[in-house]
Every structure is written in C-alpha cells, then in structure tokens.
A and B are shown apart, each in its own frame.
Chain A
Amino acid sequence: MYSEKVMDHFQNPRNVGEIENASGMGTVGNAKCGDIMRIYLDIDENQIIRDVKFKTFGCGAAVATSSMATEMVKGKTVQEAMQVTNKAVMEALDGLPPVKVHCSLLAEEAIHAALWDYAEKHGIKIEGLEKPKSDIGEEEVEEEY
C-alpha cells in the first residue's frame, strides 16, 4: 500500500519528541477524523529553524509525512520553511495512496501553525502565512477508563 520511503519514515520516524520552551508550537487536525499532528520549532535569532520535533496521532501516512516534513524544514529559514508544501512532502515520500493525501495537507498545516505561533510570540510577520484553520489544543481529552 505504501512506498518504501513512507514505510521507512513510519518505522524510523525522524525528529519525534518535544522541545522545551519551543519558539513555536502548532497542533492541527482532529481526533474525530483520526489524525492530529503537533510540531515544535526551535528558531534562532536569524530566523533559522535549529531544531524541530513532532508528535502525531494517526495512520502510517500521517506519521511518515510528519517525519518527512520535519526533515525538510530543519536548518531552513522560516521563509524557506513556507515553501515546504504538502505536494513537496508527498513527492519526497514517492507519493501516497489517494485516500491518504489529506495526511500530507495536515503536515503543511502543522508547520504553518507552529510558524504562526512563533510569529505571534515574537511579533514577526511571515510573508504568506495565514492564521491556522484548526487547532485542537483546547479540546478535552477523554477520561481514563
């Protein structure tokens, strides 16, 4: 079902984790649909992404696109990171099954959400960046059984 690259990024995801006191953090998706991505960015004073981490609740494609997207923005400037589109992530993974294309959209949105958070916190305007559409950060987590 998945390409070798997708399987590789699913089995050995890069940059899983959290960043304490991150410069920017964004969570997108919705547990109802079965995909949630969270991206942490550590951005230096030259607006270069020094480090990036992610956490994802979702299918194989969701994990793989998160992993690939973090690889693609690492070391880039925030402006360059804006060029990492869902299409670019998908191509880098040698494609995704049609039903999984929305997963790659989520990766792009998660990066944008984290960049938005960074821009807000630091009073910076990033060209082309719009306010993220969805954020489930406030949503209640189900009670323990």
Chain B
Amino acid sequence: MKEVIYLDNAATTKTRPEVVEAMLPYFTEFYGNPSSVYEFSSQPKKAIAHARETIAKALGAKTNEIYFTNGGTESDNWALVATAEAYQNKGKHIITSKIEHHAILHTCEYLEKRGFEVTYLDVDEFGVVKLEELKKAIRPDTILISIMFANNEIGTLQPIKEIGEIAKEHGILFHTDAVQAFGHVPINVDECHIDMLSSSAHKLNGPRGVGFLYIRTGVKSRSFIHGGAQERKRRGGTENTPGIVGFGKAVEIAVETMEERTAKEKALRDHLIERVMKEIPFTRLNGHPAKRLSNNANFAFQFIEGESLLIMLDMDGICGSSGSACTSGSLDPSHVLLAIGLPHEIAHGSLRLTVNDEITMEQIDFTVDSMKRIVERLRSMSPLYEDYMRKNGKH
C-alpha cells in the first residue's frame, strides 16, 4: 500500500494509542452500567467522574457543568433547541453567524420554523465576526448568541472573549461551538464569559461518538435527550463509559502537549502556505493569515474544481477536503467560502489541508510538489484558464 499522507485532521483525527489503551478495560472488564448500585459498577462510575474532572479543569469549569453527549452535533442541537425553549418567554431572537457549522445553521432553521427569529451575522473577508454588527443585531428579545470558536473550513479564530463580554453586558446567553478549538487552543469559560460550549472527542485524538456540552451553573437549559436520570437528569441514555474515558484521556494529553504540538503544526502549516503561495500562481489563502487554527490551511485555486483536485491528490495518497459543490452533494459551494466573499467559481476550487503533529516536513514538500503538478494539469484542461490566457494575450 502506498503511504497515506493524512491532511484532513479537521474532519477527524487518529485516536491516540494511549487513548485506545485507556478505553479497552471499559469494554471487557469494567463494563457495568454506571447507574447500577452494586460494587461492580463503581469503577466505571469513578472513571467517568475522573474524565469529567479532567475536562472541567481544562476549561476552568466545575465538574457539574460538563454533560456528556454523543458528539458535537448533539451538543449544538441541545444548546440551541433546549435553550430557545427554556427562554422563549423572555424572547424569541437568536444571533449566530453565516459561517457556523451545519449543526448550528440547520438547527437555527428548525427553530425559525417554530417561531424563533435568527440573525445570521456577516463576517469580514477573513471570516471574522464584526463586533459592531453583533452589537447592532442585539434586541430586547435576544436570548442567545451562538458563535463558533474556530471555523472548521478556514480555521479562523473568533474574538470569543469580546463576544462573551458583549453578551454578558446585555444579559444574553453565549454559546460557542468549540468543536475545532477545544484541545487545540487554550479556553477558559470564565475569562471568555462562555455560558455553553460544545465539543467532540474525535477532533482531538479521542474516539468518535462522544462529546460534551458545557452548561454554566444557572443556565436553565432543559433536557434535549429525554430518558433516564443520567448526567444529572439532563441527558438520558446509558453512559458511553469507554468513550468518556477515552475523551478524558485525549483531553489530558491534548492539554499536556498543546504548546509543543501546536508549535509543530504551525511550522508545518506555515511552510505549506508559504510554498503554495509562492509556487502556485492564481492562488488565494482563505481565512485569516494569523488568527487561525495551528493545523489549518485553506486555499482557492483559480480556474479549477475541487473534486478533481481531491481525486488526483488521493492518487498520490494525500487526503484533503474541498468546499466544492461536487463534494457536498449540493449545487452550491461552501457557505463559508461564499460568506467571506469568494465568487462561486473560485469557491469551487478550494482545498483544505489540516495537519497533525505526526506529519513531517518531507510529507509537506511531497504534497506541495504533487499539488503543483495537479493544479497545472487541471488548468491545462480548463476552459476558464484558456479564456483567461487568451484575454491576457498569453495564449
């Protein structure tokens, strides 16, 4: 098998072997239902408490503010739907941004159909929410602001602390989808005035199928998944003990290694961006040049289409992703790329590469060499490139 260069770490990450090792006993040895009374269930109970502590500590939160879910999407749904329902007597207006994940956007659409009003804030060319626009959007009936910590496509980090301050000033709840950010950038819920925060384990080398929602004490968000008395009666369903244990272990490692790991990722990412921007003409870097996740690079190559690029990269063993319509199953390219002002035809030619700390400089160089060859080949086949060259007398 040819070597795989996995540059899609924003999609999911490898579960660290230490994480898998920590999880295994909870499948075969300590498999007792944590809700049971017998001694046999005390170890799973303890393990969940330990994971909760690790996570709470990483956020500067209290243990009873962490609620385990099955992932980021459930957490986002919970934060929006249950909060909207709980606070609808105060008002029915929610503020979010145009570049949120679909777990937020489609949930907002769902709420709109049920009588809520949603303001979708524009972002600037780098994908940053404009604070003045946020202030202007606030109304007396605004109950919730939901802005993502870091964007999953272009990696842009939002001014979360400032947004939190604005929310607090106006007495509005603030939720952040931190699925891409938690474990990658330091987060303190008090410093940033965050009332609710969504996270998912598999984005930080934990297992798939487990996430959490942080809910600040005092926030009256009700149950979203109704059932048993698990998670302080707020989230029914037997606990995913191995998943939660794995999540805890992943967070422990992510916090310990954050500085060194992100420095390494940054060096790889910057080398990638520098070479691509220098060596491939008609290319644009999407997202903010500095305020971005350490692992994220996102390019738009003019005159070519993203899916073709992905298939050709795949032939060289390189895994990436694109905001092209062809890869999303719809006719429109990524809503994020359109929101930062990219014309449709350029948004179709986007490529997201997200590194991890196991990637080597050699692999980055191999990737850039491959990209150069592929982009050139696809452009030689492109009628748009032909037209451009003709128009500019280069043909």
Contact = CB atoms under 8 A, between A and B. Distances in A.
A31 B302 CA distance: 11
A74 interface: no
Contacts of A145: 282-284, 302
A89 interface: no
Interface string A26-48: 01000111111110000000000
B333 interface: yes
Interface string B21-35: 000000000000000
Contacts of A36: 383-384
A67 to B, nearest CB: 10
Contacts, number: 82
A56 interface: yes
A13 interface: yes
Contacts of A33: 325, 331, 344
B383 A59 contact: no
B307 A59 contact: yes
A142 interface: yes
Interface string B374-388: 000000111111111
A59 B324 contact: yes
How many chain A residues sit at the interface, stated as a range, is: 20 to 34
Contacts of B304: 57
A58 B382 CA distance: 8
Contacts of B302: 142, 144-145
Given A99-B329, A141-B388, A34 B311 contact: no
B182 interface: no
A10 B346 contact: no
B305 A59 contact: yes
B390 to A, nearest CB: 10
A58 B391 CA distance: 21
Given A36-B384, A141-B384, A141-B387, A59 B345 contact: no
Contact of A59 (B326, B386, B388): B326
A55 B308 contact: no
A11 B325 CA distance: 21
Interface residues of B, number: 32
B214 interface: no
Contacts of B384: 31, 36, 57, 141
B273 to A, nearest CB: 14
A132 interface: no
A114 interface: no
Nearest to A6: B311
A59 B308 contact: yes
A99 B328 CA distance: 10
B11 interface: no
B382 A55 contact: yes
Instruction: Tell which of A18, A57, A58, A100 has the most Cβ of chain B within 10 Å.
Output: A57
Contact of B383 (A10, A32, A34, A38): A38
Contacts of B345: 31-32, 34, 57, 142
A63 interface: yes
Given A34-B345, A145-B282, A63 B388 contact: no
Contacts of B227: none
A61 B325 CA distance: 13
B343 interface: yes
Given A142-B302, A145-B282, A34 B381 contact: no
A37 B383 contact: yes
Contacts of A16: 380-381
Contact of B382 (A10, A11, A57, A59): A57
B14 to A, nearest CB: 23
B346 A34 contact: no
A10 to B, nearest CB: 7
B303 interface: yes
A141 B386 CA distance: 10
Instruction: Tell which of A31, A36, A38, A99 has the most Cβ of chain B within 10 Å.
Output: A31
Listed from nearest, the 5 A-B pairs whose CB atoms lie closest are: A31-B345, A59-B326, A59-B307, A38-B383, A32-B344
Given A31-B345, A57-B345, 4 more contacts: A18-B386, A34-B333, A57-B384, A59-B326
